[in-house]
Amino acid sequence: MICDDVERDLDLYLDREISAELAAEIRDHLRSCAACRRRVAEREALGRLVRGVPYRAAPERLRARVAAQANRSGSTRRWVGWAAAAVVVASALGGISFVRLARTPGEASLDATAEEAVSGHVRSLMADHLFDVQSTDQHTVKPWFLGKLDFSPPVTDLASVGFPLVGGRLDVLSGRPVAALVYERRKHTINLFVSPAREGATVPAEGSVRGFHVRHWMRGGMSFWAVSDLNDAELSEFVRALQGG
């Protein structure tokens, strides 16, 4: 199987609408192809974004126009699905722009990656999709990423200091797939986005975006973004625990 074959069958694969034999061939290809793994992660992230946007029924006139165009194209199901996704994503991005415009003057202005990290955090809560793998065992969460990313994220359980690991998922940050590790502190969720550090990257160490506290650091060749509505002091405690002190 080659990349073109994966691209052709990717939608059916993600919707689990292909045979077990073909799905196994795609999984085998993904284990050795980082580009296709990124394509899968991006498509899954788009799906999570679409599922997280509040549903609004399309006007009948629009539905009729989409159906007519799809019938002419000869590929009704896929054309309608991607047309709907495009409309929803446009709406979602419009909503994000509105939130940015509505930020209070007192909030610190962080760079675009911090904004994306906060958007990913909010999206995971709205869509009720915090986990692709749900477990408190770091030896279950870490191996889950094998074959899904072209790096191995460090996974640490901090239950002993009051920040238990509860799971993880794939996400996208700055246009590339990342590991999102999920921790809890009482009823507060902490999303920790992990990816290889980009050479020469310089970003603010801490701040807030839209009322969420954000921390960023680099360690061992990895870049870490922590986002939560947890109070500032406790999020700093979480970061210190991850950094080993």
Q: CA nearest 236: which of 219, 215, 211, 218?
A: 215
pLDDT tens across the length of the chain (245 residues) = 788 888 888 888 887 788 888 888 888 888 888 888 877 777 776 666 555 555 556 667 766 776 776 666 554 445 445 555 554 444 444 443 333 333 433 333 346 888 889 888 988 887 667 889 999 999 999 999 999 999 999 999 999 999 999 999 999 988 889 999 999 999 899 999 999 987 655 555 788 888 899 999 998 899 999 999 999 999 999 999 998 85
Report pLDDT for 104. 38
The Cα–Cα gap between 54 and 189 comes to 22
Assess contact for 216 and 225: CB atoms under 8 A: yes
pTM above 0.85, yes or no: no
Report pLDDT for 230. 93
The Cα–Cα gap between 235 and 69 comes to 51
**Domain layout of the chain by residue ranges:** 112-242
Q: What count of Cα atoms within 13 Å lies in the side-chain half-sphere of residue 195?
A: 21
Architecture per CATH, domain 112-242, reads as: 2-Layer Sandwich (3.30)
Report pLDDT for 161. 95
Report pLDDT for 63. 67
Q: Strand 206-209 to strand 188-196: parallel, antiparallel, or no bridges (unpaired)?
A: unpaired
> For the CA atoms of 94, 99, 100, 105, what is the dihedral angle to 10 degrees?
160
